[in-house]
Amino acid sequence: MKQKINPAYRSIGVNFNSAGEAEVLLWSPAAKTVELKIEGKDRIRLKKTEYGYWELTTKKLNPGDSYQFILDGEKELPDSASLSQPDGVHGVSQALNLKNFSWTDNAWQNLPLNDYIFYELHTGTFTPEGTFAAIEKKLDHLVELGVTAIELMPVAQFPGERNWGYDGVFPYAVQNSYGGADGLRHLVNACHNKGLAVVLDVVYNHMGPEGNYFNEYGPYFTEKYNTPWGNAINFDDAWCDAVRQYFIENVLMWFRDFHIDALRLDAVHAIKDLSTKHILQEIKEQVDVLIAASGRQHYLIVELDLNDHKFINPLAKQGYGMDAQWIDEFHHALRVTAGEERTGYYSDFNGIEHLAKSYKGAYVYDGVYSPHRLKTFGAKVEHNPGEQFIVFSQNHDHVGNRMLGERTSKLVSFEMQKLMAAAVMVSPYLPMLFMGEEWSESNPFLYFVSHTDKDLVEAVRKGRKEEFKAFHAEGEAPDPQAEDTFNRSKLQWPLSHKGHHQVMFNYYKALIALRKSHPALYQLNRENLEVEAQPKNNTLLLHRWHGNEDVYCLMNFSKSVQQLQLPNGDKEWRLLLDSAAPAWNGPAKVANLPNNESAVTLQPESIIIYTSNHV
């Protein structure tokens, strides 16, 4: 049985009440004794209560104090629910009072989900300094660009100072080298004051290997299921109640105490749970209670590789109630259309026909046979609105999981980069950018770690080599452990104001402004959409409409000049964007169409967007 969850405060770990006392709650069902060791002060015994919990209320532990737990008189361990690890994953924990922060974002109201334009970034490589404070200095750039939400890759404490964040082992503690809990809250506060929402990437499907002390406390993992990272987190086996509460309270903490607007839950298909009530469903129920109590809106977004709309269907329709999901299949179809070799997970995608299918139906594999998976896969999406799907032309996974971490800027031409960006922005879904793509960043985004265990470092190296077999990559992968690998992945901010990089930035600004200003584009109605692909010419015509406005997006993914037909009739065409225009360093400019003319000439690797109004 779980402790009763109160949306108003965190119950597990170390927390401070209104009287200034430390209230300590630890779960360790097999322990015979538990002591709190306060560095330089006392050792105090905890009292055992029901269901494996241990409790203590004391005035001897104060905010800022370092502490550990001692199990059975000998095991000295950091707190599994630590809020701060100032000396890293193997060091002592530090007590924090989450109520001690001066927020100035009281006027902030979370954006409607359909207004989200995501900007994914990695704190360590987004700026030279690699801190939350340094991100704050770049917020004006993001506001000028036009994005509406920053999405932070995971910030839970990980080993060392170099990591993507998916090796976190203290889900409640904010990475010390980034600026810790106060640094993150200061960033969120600054974002809200500039009109930006904040999304945080969290990992509830596994824990990292180094600094993982969970098994010392209790059965946080189960042998019932195996995942790519080992035994699954225990969401449905014996003693799972406390584990479920641990992660539910983590969600509530980010929303309540850090004012995070949305969470992106990593790879929820790897969460193993056959309970009557799935852990995601229970998380959604508790978040709804928090929303009702606080009056603040929050969203739950999932990375999902199952093409199963049950995850995003509302609770009332027996779904898990997640608000939105990433759509990798749109990305895969787009990249193959743009010339990506059909190897590895791209082998399932034929290019432009699948891109057209994703524009209309979100999922490409929607109950049809998948040659890559060797089985029938997925289900059709019929009633889920466009705002429940997030699309992109690149993200941390699909850049960083290339052997050399090449961004799109290194894989395709300048013209194709513009076309791919527009293909995302005109979709009936929520668009996401990956940091630096808005100025055609040339540095790679590589996979990097800073483990201290030599055997683990070697295992990571071998694992990376194995991962690239499906892509038949040649050469040696950069060493994930090397500091140079991390430094090469940092953005080059001076580029954003130079030459074609500045042109690309201005192009992205124009694209985002276009999406925001035309109802046919920003209204995410999947029903008001028609799409026609011409595989022979590698061209696509996307037609979207709202009210009396029609928008036609003509895309040429081929390397040759092509023609596309617009509908005949008495229409007054207006040119909204031509990616081949000289303003965008393109090879040509297309004039506005006269009435009743239907043939449009498209330059290679370009998009032209027209609008017309009808009565």
* CA dist., res. 511 & res. 551, Å (int): 14
Residues 6+ apart with CB under 8 A from 6: none
CA geometry: angle 482, 487, 493, nearest 5 deg: 170
Per-residue pLDDT tens over the stretch 383-424: 999 999 999 999 999 999 899 999 999 999 999 999 999 999
Per-residue pLDDT tens over the stretch 529-573: 999 999 999 999 999 999 999 999 999 999 999 999 888 767 788
Q: CATH number of the domain at 530-613, please?
A: 2.60.40.1180
Question: What is the bridge-based pairing of β-strands 430-434 and 529-534?
Answer: unpaired
Residue 142 CA: distances (Å) to CA of 139, 184, 301, 579: 5, 17, 21, 22
How high is the pLDDT of residue 4?
A: 81
Sign of CA dihedral 469, 474, 478, 481: positive
DSSP 396: H
Nearest to 393 by CA among 345, 343, 437, 361: 437
Per-residue pLDDT tens over the stretch 59-71: 999 999 999 999 9
Per-residue pLDDT tens over the stretch 96-107: 999 999 999 999
* CA dist., res. 526 & res. 520, Å (int): 11
Length of the chain in residues, anyone? 615
Nearest to 197 by CA among 107, 262, 135: 262
Query: Residue 342 has which token pair?
Result: 């059909």
DSSP assignment of 398-411: HHHTSTT---HHHH
Which residues are part of the catalytic machinery? 266, 303
DSSP assignment of 97-148: -TT------TT--PPPGGG--EEEE-HHHHSSS-SHHHHHTTHHHHHHHT--
pLDDT at 52 over 90: yes
Contact predicate 233/221, CB 8 Å: yes
Q: pLDDT grade, residue 176 (50/70/90)?
A: very high
Nearest to 425 by CA among 397, 393, 395: 393
Whole-number average pLDDT of the chain: 95
DSSP 580: T
Contacts made by residues 220-224, CB under 8 angstroms, sequence distance 24+: 220/80, 220/246, 222/272, 224/272
Mean pLDDT calculated for residue range 230-250 = 97
Mean pLDDT calculated for residue range 482-506 = 98
* CA dist., res. 149 & res. 204, Å (int): 22
How high is the pLDDT of residue 589?
A: 72
Question: 386: helix, coil or strand?
Answer: helix
Q: Is the pTM of this model over 0.75?
A: yes
* CA dist., res. 3 & res. 431, Å (int): 39
DSSP assignment of 29-92: TT-S-EEEEETTS-EEEPEE-GGGEEEEEESS--TT-EEEEEETTTEEE--TT-S--TT-TTS-
DSSP assignment of 208-243: -STT--HHHHS--EEEEEEETTEEEE-SSSTTHHHH
Superfamily of domain 13-94: Immunoglobulins (2.60.40.10)
Nearest to 283 by CA among 245, 309, 310, 319: 245
How high is the pLDDT of residue 465?
A: 75
Query: Residue 54 has which token pair?
Result: 């241990």
* CA dist., res. 424 & res. 337, Å (int): 13
Question: What is the bridge-based pairing of β-strands 430-434 and 389-391?
Answer: parallel
* CA dist., res. 59 & res. 419, Å (int): 62
Contact predicate 161/124, CB 8 Å: yes
Domain boundaries, the chain: 13-94, 203-326, 530-613
How high is the pLDDT of residue 470?
A: 53
How high is the pLDDT of residue 592?
A: 66
Question: What is the bridge-based pairing of β-strands 230-233 and 221-227?
Answer: antiparallel
Query: Residue 218 has which token pair?
Result: 């209790």
What H or E segment, with its residue span, contains residue 244?
A: helix 240-258
How high is the pLDDT of residue 464?
A: 79
How high is the pLDDT of residue 595?
A: 64
Contact predicate 517/523, CB 8 Å: no
530-613 and 13-94 share a CATH fold: yes
10 Å CB burial of residue 547 (0-12, 13-18, 19+) is: exposed
Residues 6+ apart with CB under 8 A from 96: 14, 63, 64, 83, 84, 181
